[in-house]
Every structure is written in structure tokens, then in C-alpha cells.
Amino acid sequence: MFKAFFKLWLLVFVPLFFLIFPNEYSPLQMFNEYAEKTRYINNYSGTFHLIEELLENTEKDDWDKKIDDLSTEFGYPLTLKDLVQETLSNNQFRELQSGEFIFINSEPELILKKIANTNKVISLALYLTKEEELLRASKGTIYLIKQKLAAQNPEQWPKVIDELTSYFHFNLSIEKYIDVELPLDKYKQLQDTEFAWQVSDRSNLTVYTLMPDNKFVLIAKAISISSEGTVILIMLLLMFILVISVGMFMWVYPLWRDLIRLGDTVAEFGEGKLKLRADLSKTSVITRLGNGFNSMALRLESLIKGQRELTNAIAHDLRTPLYRLRFAFEMLDDEMLTAQDKHKYRQSVSTSIDTLDHLINQTLLLSRYTRAADTVHFSRCKFANKLRQEIEFISQEQSHLQFKVAVEPSLEDKSIHIDPIALIRALNNLIANACRYASSTISVSFLLSNDKQYYQLIVEDDGDGIDEKHWQLIFQPFAQLGNKQRDLAVGHGLGLAIVKQISKWHNGDIKLSHGKLNGAKFELYWPVHSRG
């Protein structure tokens, strides 16, 4: 849950922080710089053209003085600098060298333009309010235009205006003073200062200036005072919100879908459909939960199936001794029986009771080891010593067989963490099984695996061995090879099933193979570091 929440938090807030906090890669800042650069360059490209033209007609040694004189006509500093890369980025430096305008969004904002075929850069600083900035900058521009017009006859003015219009992104025109429509306060301003301006709409400024003869007025219309990017900015913001919303939906929807699927599967599983499993994508947020449910479902299905089979098998194995008991008791009631027959039936009753007792004990043992391992039964002990003692006791009972014992030297006196009672019981069951089929020799080994990661308890016999097709079957409860009628003299088929569960009790397993003695080889193994 925390991992999923953290992912969602990153998905929502990282782009938001990236958008809000100023940085060179912020889309808002990049858009703002682009919009401001476009606006200023559109407004002042003609101005820079006139300045370059003026400097071309001036001696190079007088450029600084000419720029200083021009600066008084501008609303903010106009300077001439040497082209130095130290204060510019690589991209800005390359753009300047190629003759392009550079806009630097700083305090103050700057427009830079390199004079062709020189190492000099014209720098125009832009600050104050937008109207005031534009007004003060326009005064210099208007001054340059008036100078150019003053050098021509009035008859040539329309032609000059048309020529200059190609360099400006606003409209230039000349009208007679008497034809200009202005409010009274603007007329007075024009008469007093030869300069007036008014905002024609929310984003454009119109500037009026008297020509030297006071009969004509130079008019510059549609000078932009704000970046025309409000709609684009809103669209960019909406796109950002849409992208974030789609990203969140693409994350939440699969989570919601997988939770619904998992909930439906759990509900149907609870109704008894034990073969159902959660089908989730590997990339799903709840994959771990789904895998946990599948593992649990597989375990429950296996347990329930095992319990059903065990119940059916127990019922089958209980039936025979019970029938024998009933028959023996019925026969004992017969007054015609001889003493010898009565003894025979009493012996049958005793045998049947022993069989039932053994079956119940084996079943309880299997049930015990089928549960999760109880660490209370685990302790540290020198298993090699217990193993030798147990085999010595068994060899006395099975004196017709030869027992060979091999213990790895490093394990002779090593104390290991196990359930000693369970492992000795597993050893007894394996040896009992070997004794049943061995001809003369049984080998018992307690070793470490080649990689030193597992303990190995190996029991081999020199019998006929077991066909490979039965290797998995014999570990199932009540499985008896070649004894389908369950001859009770042979057993109930629970011994190896108990050994299998004891191996799992120790986080290990048991496998069957062909041994070096040409008989069966049972290898019970469990990890060295499985429990403490």
C-alpha cells in the first residue's frame, strides 16, 4: 500500500513541483521565455535595424558616443558591449554569432544583437512597467524614424514608411495633425511634449509624435504590451492536468480492476470452487497479494484433497479389522466352539485391536506432521550420536541384516537445530521399509551436500529396488506397491507419507533413486540454515 501510495504521490507531485519551482527545464518558464522573447524581438527588431544602420554610417571610434547619445532617447539603458562568452550559454553564444536576437530573462531583462561583421553587441535592458517600458523604448524608436523621415522630402515619406514597415511588427503611418482623433488630454500632451500614447485595447499601445513641422503626426499602432500567449498558456495547463489525470487513471484503473477480480475469485473460492486462482498481471500493484492468495489456495486445495483421500483411506483400512472383530465376537458366542477355536478367535480380536491402534497412531502422526512446524519441538542436539544409538538398537532386532553407518567427520560432534524425535521417527520408518525388502545389507549415511547447504540422511538397501514409475506414488498416504488389498501384516502405507511430512517439517524434502547397493535409495535432506 505504501509503495503504491508513494508511486502515486511521485506521479502527481514531481511534475507539479517541476512546474512550479523555477528551473531551466520548467515548461512554464520555457514558454514564458519564448513568449517574452517573441514579443520583445517583434517590437524591437526594427529598432535594432535602425541602430545598426546608424552605426554603419558612423566612424567605429564614435560608436560608443553615438550609443550614449541614443540612450538618452530610450527609456532604459542602451549599451554597446564586446561579445564575451563568459556570461552566455553555448546556445546563446552560437545564436548571437549567427546574427540572431538573444533574450535573457533576468533582472533586468535584456535583448542582445550582434552587429554584423563585428565583435560588438547591442544590449537593450528592459524593465519598469510594461506600458512605461514600451513607451520609453518607443521614444527612441520614434526618434530614429523621425530622423530618417526628416532627411527626406515629405513627398517621400509614404515610401519610407512602407520600407520601414517590413522591419517592424506594428503599423506605421503619417497623418495630418488636424485629422488625428485623440482625447483632449492626449492632444495637450502631444502639444506640450510632442509625444503621446494611449492603450487601444488590453494588449496594444498606440504612440503619437509630432513631426518637426508640427503639421504631421507619426503614428505607431498595435505595439504589443503583453505576450499573446494566454490562450496557449491555458491550453498548456489543461494539457498538463489532462496528462496527470490520465496517468492517475491508468494507475488507479488496473488497481481497481485487479481488486475486483481478486475479490470475485476469493468469493467463488469460498463457495467451494477450489481450483480457482487469481489471474493478475506481473506488473499489477497487487501481484504480491494475488500470488499470496494463489499459494494459499493451492495449499488449501492440496490439504482438503489430502484430507478427503486420507478420510476415504482410513475408512477403508478401518473396515477390515472391524469386520474381523465383529466376526470373532459372533463366533465366540457360539457354544459349540472348542477351546482351541475360542483361543483362535480371541487372538483375532487382539490382533484386530492392535491393528486399529497402530492405524490410529500412524494417522495421528501423519496429521501432526502435516500441520505447520511447531518450533517448540525443535532443539539443538548431536544428531550423529542419536543416529548411531538408534541403528545399534535396530541391528539387535534385525540380526539377520548387516547395517553400515557412515557419518561425515564434520558432523560427528556437531550440534544442529532439528526436531530430534521427528527425525528419529523418519529414520525408523525408512529403515523399517528397507528391512522389508533388503536381502542382507542396509546402508545409513548422514552427510553434507557438495555445496554445504543441506544435511542429507540417506538409507539404502540391497533389495530389488522400486520401479521409477512408482517413485512419487509411494509417498502418498496408504499407497502400497504390489499390495492393493492392503495386507495388514505388511502395513498401512503411512510410513513414507510421514517421512515426507517430516522432511517438509524441516523445510526440506525426500527423494527416491537407485542406490549403489542396487536397491532403493531414500535421501531425506533439509537446509543447514533453515531454523536458527
pLDDT band at residue 491, thresholds of 50, 70 and 90? low
Mean pLDDT, rounded, for 432-460 = 92
pLDDT at 499 over 90: no
Cell 528419529, residue located = 424
**Higher model confidence: residue 13 or residue 172?**
172
What is the grid cell recorded at 280? 493478475
Mean pLDDT, rounded, for 413-440 = 89
Write down the domain spans for the chain: 20-127, 376-532
Mean pLDDT, rounded, for 262-275 = 88
Proportion of the chain above pLDDT 70, given as a percent? 82
CB 312 within 8 A of CB 285: no
pLDDT at 426 over 70: yes
pLDDT at 97 over 60: yes
Q: Please give the class, per CATH, of domain 376-532.
A: alpha beta
pLDDT at 532: 41
CB 344 within 8 A of CB 352: no
Mean pLDDT, rounded, for 380-393 = 91
Q: Is the peptide bond between 108 and the residue preceding it cis, with omega within 30 degrees of 0? A: yes
Looking at residue 115, what DSSP letter applies?
P
pLDDT band at residue 485, thresholds of 50, 70 and 90? very low
pLDDT at 410 over 70: yes
Round to whole Å and give the CA distance between 384 and 414: 8
pLDDT at 375: 63
Backbone angles phi, psi at 515, to 5 degrees: -90, 175
Round to whole Å and give the CA distance between 304 and 294: 15
pLDDT at 456 over 90: yes
pLDDT at 454 over 90: yes
pLDDT at 484 over 70: no
Burial 380-413 (b: 16+ CB within 10 A, else e): ebebbebbbebbeebeeeeeebebeeebeeebee
**Which uninterrupted H or E stretch holds 527?**
strand 520-527
- What pTM was estimated for this model as a whole? 0.44
pLDDT at 282: 80
What is the grid cell recorded at 381? 542436539
